[in-house]
Amino acid sequence: MIETGSLRPLGAVLVAALSIVGIVVFRARPNVREGWSVLGALGTVAVIASMVPGVLAGQAYVTDLGTFVPGVRFALRVDPLGLLFGLLASLLWVITTFYSIGYMRGLDEHAQTRYFAAFAASVAAAVGVAFARNLLVLFVFYELLTVATYPLVTHDETGEARAAGRKYLAYTFGGGVAVLAGTVLLYVLTGTTAFTPGGIAALAEADPVLARAVFALLLTGFGVKAALMPLHSWLPDAMVAPTPVSGLLHAVAVVKSGVFGIARVVLDVYGPGLMGDLGVGLPLAAIAAFTLLTASVIALRKDNLKRRLAYSTISQLSYIVLGLAILSPASMVGGLLHIPAHAFMKLTLFFCAGAIHVETHTDDISDMAGIGRRMPVTMLAFAVASAGMAGIPLVAGFVSKWYLLIGSVGSGQAIFAVVLLLSGVLNIAYFWPIVYQAFFETPEASDRKPLVESPLGGRYGDGPAATRADGGRPGDGRDEDPKGDRSESDRNDTAATETPLGSGTTRETDSEAAGETPPPETQDSPTETDAVQSEGEQAVDRYPSDHALPGDDRERDENTADSKNETAGPGEDRESSEHSTFHDHAYDEPHGPPAGGWEQRAFGEESSWFVLGPILTVVAGAVVLGIVPYWAIFLRVVELIVAGVTGTPRVVG
Amino acid sequence: MIPTVAVTGTAPLTGVVAALLSGVGPASVEQLLATSANSPLPPLLVAVPLLVSIATLAVGYRFDRAAWSIAAIGAVLQVAIAGTLAWRVVTAGRVIHVLGGFVPPFGIVLVVDGLSALVALLIAVVTVGVLVYLRQAGPRGLGTTGDVFNMYVFLEITGLAAYALVASGDSGLAAVAALKYLMLGTVGASLFLLGVGYALIATGTLTMADLAVRLAEVGYQSTPVRAAFAFMTVGLGVKIALFPLHTWQPDAYSASPDGVSAFISALVSTVSAYALVRVVYSVFTVEFFAANPLARDLLLYGAALSVIAGSTLAVTQREVKRTLAYSSVSQFGLVAVGFALTNRAGLVGGIIHLLGHAVMKGSLFLAVGIIAIRTDARTIEEYAGLARRVPVASAAFAVLAFAMIGVPPAVGFVGKWYILLGAVEAGEPVVALVVVASTLLTLAYFARLIERMYFSPVTDSTGPAGTVADGGESSAGRDGRESESAVADGGSAGTDAATVDRNAEDTRDTRNDSDVEADTSAGADTDGDAGSAELDPVTDDPSGREVTAGMTAVVVLAAIVAVALGLLATELEALLRPTLEVLLS
Amino acid sequence: MSAVTDLLLTRYNYLAVVVLSGIGMYMMIENRNLVKKVIGMNVFQTAIFLFFITTAYVEGGAPAILESGGGGGGGPYVSPLPQVLILTAIVVGVSLTAVALALIVRIYAEYGTLDEEALREVTGE
Domain ranges of chain C: 2-58+78-123
d(CA B341, CA B419): 8
Cβ-defined contact of B469 to A69 (cutoff 8 Å): no
Residue spans of alpha helices (H) in B376-486? 386-389, 391-405, 411-425, 429-455, 475-482
Phi-psi region of C2 (alpha: psi -120 to 50; beta: other; left: phi over 0): alpha
> Which of B1, B12, B2 has the alpha carbon at shortest distance from B53?
B12
d(CA B398, CA B390): 12
Q: Quick check: A250 and A349 in contact, CB under 8 A?
A: no
**DSSP assignment, residue A582?**
G
Cβ-defined contact of B164 to C100 (cutoff 8 Å): no
**DSSP assignment, residue B377?**
-
Considering the domain boundaries, does residue A538 fall inside one?
no
| Closest approach of C66 to chain B, Cα-based (Å) | 21
Give the pLDDT band of residue B538 (cuts 50, 70, 90): very low
Instruction: Return all residues near A17 (Cβ < 8 A) that are at least 6 apart.
Output: A120, A121, A124
Cβ-defined contact of B432 to A184 (cutoff 8 Å): yes
The ipTM, to two decimals, is 0.87
Tell me the chain B residues in contact with residue A159 when contact means C-beta distances shorter than 8 Å. Answer: 467, 469, 487-491
- Please report, as a single letter, which amino acid is at residue C57: Y
Cβ-defined contact of B437 to A177 (cutoff 8 Å): yes
| The pLDDT value given to residue B544 | 45
| The pLDDT value given to residue A548 | 38
Total length of chain B:
585
Lowest mean pLDDT among A145-154, A310-319, B65-74, B128-137: B128-137
| Helix (H/G/I), strand (E/B), else coil: C98 | helix
Tell me the chain B residues in contact with residue C25 when contact means C-beta distances shorter than 8 Å. Answer: 187
Can you tell me the mean pLDDT for B543-549?
A: 54
Tell me which chains share at least 3 CB pairs under 8 Å with chain B: A, C
| Closest approach of B557 to chain A, Cα-based (Å) | 17
Per the structure, the count of domains in chain A is: 1
Q: pLDDT (tens digit, 9 = 90+) per residue, A3-39?
A: 777 888 888 888 888 888 888 888 778 788 888 888 8
| Closest approach of C27 to chain B, Cα-based (Å) | 12
Please name the member of B182, B186, B511 whose beta carbon is closest to the beta carbon of C103.
B182
Instruction: Return all residues near A399 (Cβ < 8 A) that are at least 6 apart.
Output: A337, A341, A625, A626, A629, A635
> What are the angstrom distances between the C-alpha of B247 and each of A15, B183, B190, B250, B331?
49, 11, 17, 7, 15
Q: Quick check: A607 and A600 in contact, CB under 8 A?
A: no
Q: pLDDT (tens digit, 9 = 90+) per residue, B19-57?
A: 323 333 333 444 445 555 566 666 666 566 556 655 655
| The pLDDT value given to residue B168 | 63
Please identify every stretch of chain A with a pLDDT value under 50, giving residue numbers as ranges.
458-469, 471-589, 651-653
Cβ-defined contact of C55 to B197 (cutoff 8 Å): yes
d(CA A491, CA A506): 11
CA angle B504, B510, B512 (to 5 degrees): 130
d(CA B286, CA B203): 18
> Which of B155, B148, B121, B150 has the alpha carbon at shortest distance from B133?
B150
Cβ-defined contact of B197 to C106 (cutoff 8 Å): no
Beta strands B95-98 and B109-112 are antiparallel
Instruction: Return all residues near A450 (Cβ < 8 A) that are at least 6 apart.
Output: A300, A301, A302, A303, A308, A365, A366, A430, A433, A544
Can you tell me the mean pLDDT for B523-536?
A: 34
Residue A632 touches partner B, C-beta closer than 8 Å:
no
Considering the domain boundaries, does residue A605 fall inside one?
no
Can you tell me the mean pLDDT for B490-495?
A: 36
Percentage above 90 pLDDT, chain B: 0
Tell me the chain C residues in contact with residue B247 when contact means C-beta distances shorter than 8 Å. Answer: none
Give the pLDDT band of residue C72 (cuts 50, 70, 90): low
Can you tell me the mean pLDDT for B77-85?
A: 72
d(CA C47, CA A338): 76
Give the pLDDT band of residue B170 (cuts 50, 70, 90): low
> Which of A371, A504, A391, A376 has the alpha carbon at shortest distance from A433?
A371
| The pLDDT value given to residue B99 | 54
Residue B9 has pLDDT above 60, yes or no: no
Q: pLDDT (tens digit, 9 = 90+) per residue, A490-518?
A: 444 444 444 444 344 444 444 444 444 44
Between A224 and B523, residue with greater pLDDT? A224
Between B358 and A291, residue with greater pLDDT? A291
- Please report, as a single letter, which amino acid is at residue A355: A
| The pLDDT value given to residue C87 | 84
d(CA B356, CA B407): 13
| Helix (H/G/I), strand (E/B), else coil: C62 | strand
d(CA B400, CA B380): 17
Beta bridge partners of B507: none
Lowest mean pLDDT among A342-351, B194-203, B229-238: B194-203
Cβ-defined contact of B197 to C38 (cutoff 8 Å): no
CATH class of C2-58+78-123: mainly alpha
Q: pLDDT (tens digit, 9 = 90+) per residue, B315-329?
A: 888 888 888 888 888
- Average predicted confidence (pLDDT) for chain B: 66
Give the pLDDT band of residue B6 (cuts 50, 70, 90): very low
> What are the angstrom distances between the C-alpha of A5 and each of A75, A77, A78?
11, 9, 10
Tell me the chain B residues in contact with residue A139 when contact means C-beta distances shorter than 8 Å. Answer: 408
| The pLDDT value given to residue A502 | 39
| Closest approach of C55 to chain B, Cα-based (Å) | 7
Percentage above 90 pLDDT, chain A: 0
Cβ-defined contact of C99 to B512 (cutoff 8 Å): no
Phi-psi region of C72 (alpha: psi -120 to 50; beta: other; left: phi over 0): left
Residue spans of alpha helices (H) in A461-511? 484-497, 503-511
Instruction: Return all residues near A440 (Cβ < 8 A) that are at least 6 apart.
Output: none
Considering the domain boundaries, does residue A142 fall inside one?
yes
Tell me the chain B residues in contact with residue A66 when contact means C-beta distances shorter than 8 Å. Answer: 570
Phi-psi region of B100 (alpha: psi -120 to 50; beta: other; left: phi over 0): left
Largest CA distance in chain A: 79
Cβ-defined contact of B200 to C52 (cutoff 8 Å): yes
Give the pLDDT band of residue B583 (cuts 50, 70, 90): low
Can you tell me the mean pLDDT for B411-419?
A: 87
| The pLDDT value given to residue B204 | 72
Considering the domain boundaries, does residue A590 fall inside one?
no
d(CA A95, CA A45): 11
| Closest approach of A157 to chain B, Cα-based (Å) | 5
Instruction: Return all residues near A198 (Cβ < 8 A) that are at least 6 apart.
Output: A267, A268, A271, A272, A273, A644, A645, A646, A647
d(CA A375, CA A371): 6
Q: Quick check: A146 and A173 in contact, CB under 8 A?
A: yes
Residue B580 has pLDDT above 70, yes or no: no
| The pLDDT value given to residue A451 | 57
| The pLDDT value given to residue A556 | 40
Tell me the chain B residues in contact with residue C38 when contact means C-beta distances shorter than 8 Å. Answer: 183
- b/e map of A318-353 (b: 16 or more CB within 10 Å)? bbbbbbbbbbbbbbbbbbbbbbbbbbbbbbbbbbbb
Instruction: Return all residues near A54 (Cβ < 8 A) that are at least 6 apart.
Output: A4, A61
Q: pLDDT (tens digit, 9 = 90+) per residue, B84-109?
A: 776 766 666 556 666 555 554 444 45
| The pLDDT value given to residue B98 | 60
Can you tell me the mean pLDDT for B467-482?
A: 37
Can you tell me the mean pLDDT for C50-75?
A: 70
Lowest mean pLDDT among A486-490, B193-197, B442-446: A486-490
- In chain A, the residue whose alpha carbon lies closest to the alpha carbon of B568 is A68
Hey, which bits of A70-139 come out as E strands?
Answer: 72-78
Report which listed range, B428-432, B454-458, B490-494, C78-82, is most confident. Answer: B428-432
Peptide bond into A450 cis (omega under 30): yes
Residue B512 has pLDDT above 60, yes or no: no
Q: Quick check: B42 and B162 in contact, CB under 8 A?
A: no
Beta strands B37-38 and B95-98 are parallel
Cβ-defined contact of B172 to C34 (cutoff 8 Å): no
d(CA A533, CA B239): 51
Cβ-defined contact of A177 to B472 (cutoff 8 Å): no
d(CA A554, CA B522): 68
Secondary element (H or E) of residue C42: helix C34-56
**Any contact of C with A, at least 3 CB pairs below 8 A?**
no
> What are the angstrom distances between the C-alpha of C72 and each of A620, B83, C81?
107, 42, 19
Cβ-defined contact of C123 to B167 (cutoff 8 Å): no
| The pLDDT value given to residue C17 | 85
Residue B245 has pLDDT above 60, yes or no: yes
Lowest mean pLDDT among A368-377, B113-122, B454-463, C48-57: B113-122
* CA distance from start to end of chain C: 50
| The pLDDT value given to residue C65 | 67
Beta strands A59-69 and A2-5 are parallel
Q: Quick check: A139 and A35 in contact, CB under 8 A?
A: no
**DSSP assignment, residue B102?**
P
Tell me which chains share at least 3 CB pairs under 8 Å with chain A: B
| The pLDDT value given to residue A468 | 47
SS3 content of chain A, % helix, strand, coil (to 5): 70, 5, 25
Secondary element (H or E) of residue B96: strand B95-98
Residue B223 has pLDDT above 60, yes or no: yes
Beta strands A59-69 and A72-78 are antiparallel
Residue B204 touches partner C, C-beta closer than 8 Å:
yes
- b/e map of B555-571 (b: 16 or more CB within 10 Å)? bbebbebbbebbbbbbe
Between C15 and B580, residue with greater pLDDT? C15
Residue B255 has pLDDT above 60, yes or no: yes
